[in-house]
């Protein structure tokens, strides 16, 4: 089963990001970008990849034991990855209590590494992927629009992160389908 841990966004935050993506792509007239579907917009904490069904109960047990504080955040800019070359991913960056998300990521990472998952080498930056450049397709260079693109779109709606989820990622020809397997609430509050 292909799994990741992530933060589900409320509908108003997802709608804001979908609208922002549409505005950006209209501006650059880039048809080589595949937009993330509204229902799939989320903040990934840790991608796990293929995981044996037999490991899921132990993984859930470890994730349940994690203590973390709720966080209040909002989307505040576009991000482009990789940042120094031809971008392949368009994302939304977040502001607010993002330090709490970084701490949560570190705890999830430690729990996963303790179970034998390879350590993540890249530094963690909370973001939601909102589009991907289709491989092999030519289009406008979206990289010239850096983090301050379309400032009138920001900030997005403020929301509270009070839990995270273990999600299954089912890759289909029509696009990925993400299904929550379990939810893990913050230590304080819903």
- pLDDT given at position 26: 83
H-only helix segments in 86-129: 98-114
CATH classification code of 2-185: 3.90.1140.10
Ranges of each domain in the chain: 2-185
Q: How confident is the model at residue 86 (pLDDT cuts 50, 70, 90)?
A: confident
Q: By the 8 A CB rule, do 134 and 34 touch?
A: yes
pLDDT average, residue stretch 87-98: 92
How far apart CA 190 and CA 173 sit, in angstroms, is 36
pLDDT band at 68 (very low <50, low <70, confident <90, very high): very high
Whether the pLDDT of residue 145 is over 60: the answer is: no
pLDDT band at 172 (very low <50, low <70, confident <90, very high): confident
- Give the residue-averaged pLDDT of 6-30: 91
Residue 170 and residue 50 in contact, taking contact as beta carbons nearer than 8 Å: no
Q: Compare 148 and 54 and report the one with higher pLDDT.
A: 54
Single out the residue of 114, 11, 10 nearest to residue 58, CA to CA.
Answer: 114
Angle CA 71–90–162, to nearest 5:
15
Phi-psi region of 119 (alpha: psi -120 to 50; beta: other; left: phi over 0): beta
């Amino acid at each position: 089963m292909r799994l990741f841990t992530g933060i589900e966004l409320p509908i108003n935050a997802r709608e804001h990001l979908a609208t922002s993506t549409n505005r950006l792509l209209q501006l650059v007239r880039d048809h080589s970008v595949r937009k993330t579907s509204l229902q799939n917009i989320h903040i990934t904490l840790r991608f796990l990849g293929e995981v044996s069904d037999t490991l899921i109960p132990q993984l859930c047990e470890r994730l349940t034991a994690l203590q973390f504080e709720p966080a209040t955040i909002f989307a505040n800019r576009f991000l482009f990855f990789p940042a120094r070359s031809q971008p392949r991913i368009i994302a939304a960056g977040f502001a607010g209590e993002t330090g709490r998300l970084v701490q949560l990521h570190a705890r999830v990472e430690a729990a996963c590494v303790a179970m034998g998952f390879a350590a993540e080498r890249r530094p963690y930056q909370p973001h939601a992927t909102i589009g991907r450049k289709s491989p092999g397709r030519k289009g406008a260079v979206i990289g010239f629009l850096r983090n301050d693109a379309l400032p009138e779109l920001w900030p997005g709606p403020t929301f509270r992160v009070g839990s995270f989820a273990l999600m299954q990622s089912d890759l289909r020809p029509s696009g990925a389908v993400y299904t929550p397997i379990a939810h893990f609430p913050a230590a304080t509050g819903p």
